[in-house]
Amino acid sequence: MVVKINENYLLIQNSYLFVEVERRANKYQEENPDKNIIKMGIGDVTKPLAKTVVKAFKDAVEEMGHSDTFHGYGPEQGYDFLQKAIIDNEFKPLGVNFDLDEVFISDGAKCDTGNIQEIFGIDNTIAVTDPVYPVYVDTNVMAGRTGPIMDNGMFEGIVYLPCTEENDFVPELPKEPVDIIYLCFPNNPTGETLTKEQLTVFVNYAIENDAIILFDAAYECFIQEEDVPHSIYEIPGAKKVAIEFRSYSKTAGFTGTRCAYTIVPKDIEITASNKEIVKLNDLWNRRQTTKFNGVSYPVQRAAESIYTEQGQKEIKENLAYYNENAKLIRESFLKMGLNTYGGVNSPYVWVKTPEGVDSWKFFDILLEEANVVGTPGSGFGPSGEGYLRLTAFNTHENTKEAMDRISKLSF
Ligand code: PLP
């Protein structure tokens, strides 16, 4: 064989976190067929699409069936009706404006946060918060931007910014020079947020050090508290240094429908090695037009419909439902005397495991003694050890039942 594979793929750890969670839950179920397992591990929504969304979706499909309203390939960057709806409804109320060509519609924030690293040189140093959404790390490993994983669970060459109860889940600025910083707030997995002041520290760092911030705001729709920024662009200067990712997955139950968007401001300019000043917006546009053929017309019409008055009412009802579950999970664990975080501006609750119990052990206890599936914090990075994540996406009934069962355990 002369074909050579991309050996960087071999550096990725074999057992993907959720595969192992599923394996353990299935094994337990096979051995205990009479037990009713409640799954609160994976971050997938359970509420169906809102009625307004379904109608817009169906109407657009109908259009596709008639020659005078049929749509073939759309713009790779998305239709302008959706770009405009996003600017008018998501950003103008925050006092921020964008041109249509700064908004790129896509089929997911997972793809965008994974693909964005392609427009940056291989020798950039990246920083991630720890624990972290694994996509940021693994896509950089695949690209060859890191060395192998070390005994401490960290990849060589990546700068990890710990977020633990010791620092209130607020990352410190990197001590060594970094070029690109991934931030996700409200955070997956900790469920914690940054204040405007705390986010300003990172924006100022990026401005002063010519760094770029990749800001994942996939959970922005769960923010309930006043002083929590919904967008990094609420921070002065961010348009020069930050790319922001948003998604309809959690906002409007689009996990199976697929629609998201990324803002790449034209103000972000980088000097290339030949001294040419390059806009990241142009590079991302080049990337998308080369490798992506746009999101389907009906899906973009469906996404647009959430900005109608009725659409807003319906999706907010669903979000309130999940927020209610998060509150119940959070308060139940606090009542049990366990340190518990998140769950206020986020569908994720991050529980500190009892003294002397590690993440996987706590996972097994909840599975075997309460038949509840969570996600071990250690799977999100070394600083996640000693925590477990539960999600608020199950039904009220199951969430309550799960909390009743867990509350009967003694730790
Ligand atoms: N970003 C974060 C932090 C997530 O947790 C997730 C999904 O769980 C995504 C992005 C993926 O979003 P999408 O469904 O739009 O691909």
Closest atom of ligand 1 to CA, residue 259: 15
* pLDDT, mean over the chain: 96
13 pLDDT tier (thresholds 50, 70, 90): confident
Q: What is the mean pLDDT of residues 308-315?
A: 98
Domain locations in the chain?
Answer: 7-48+312-407, 54-309
Residue whose CA is at the smallest distance from ligand 1 atom 2: 218
Just give the CATH number of 54-309.
Answer: 3.40.640.10
Give the type of residue at 10.
L
Q: pLDDT tens across 129-138, in order?
A: 999 999 999 9
Work out which ligand 1 atom sits closest to the CA atom of 260.
15
Residues with CB under 6 A from ligand 1: 43, 108-110, 113, 133, 184, 188, 216, 218, 247, 249, 255, 260
pLDDT band at 19 (very low <50, low <70, confident <90, very high): confident
Segment 135-157 mean pLDDT:
95
- Ligand 1 pocket mutation pick from 105, 112, 133, 219 by most atoms within 8 angstroms of CB: 133
Q: Mean pLDDT, to the nearest integer, of 323-336?
A: 97
Render pLDDT for 88-104 as a digit per residue (tens, 0 to 9).
Answer: 999 999 999 999 999 99
Query: Can you say whether residue 279 is alpha, beta or left, with left for phi > 0 and alpha for psi between -120 and 50 degrees?
Result: beta
Given this model, what pLDDT does residue 411 score? 79
* Atom number in ligand 1 closest to CA 187: 3
- d(CA 213, CA 325) in angstroms, rounded, equals 32
Please say whether the dihedral angle defined by the alpha carbons of residues 188, 189, 194 and 198, taken in this order, is positive or negative: negative
Q: Which pLDDT value is given to residue 17?
A: 79
Q: How far apart are CA 171 and CA 180, in angstroms?
A: 15
In this structure, whether the domain defined by 7-48+312-407 belongs to CATH 3.90.1150.10 is answered with: yes
Q: How far is the CA of 110 from the centre of ligand 1 (A)?
A: 5
CA distance 406 to 371: 9
User: Is it the case that residue 86 has pLDDT exceeding 90?
Assistant: yes
Give residue 18 CA to ligand 1 midpoint distance, Å. 14
Who has greater pLDDT, 225 or 15? 225
What distance in angstroms lies between residue 44's CA and the mean position of ligand 1's atoms? 10
The per-residue pLDDT for range 386-399, each reduced to its tens digit, is 999 999 999 999 99
Above 80 in pLDDT, residue 15?
no
Average pLDDT over every residue of 166-187: 97
Closest ligand 1 atom, residue 254 Cα: 14
User: What is the pTM (predicted TM-score) of this model?
Assistant: 0.97
The answer to whether residue 14 scores a pLDDT higher than 80 is no
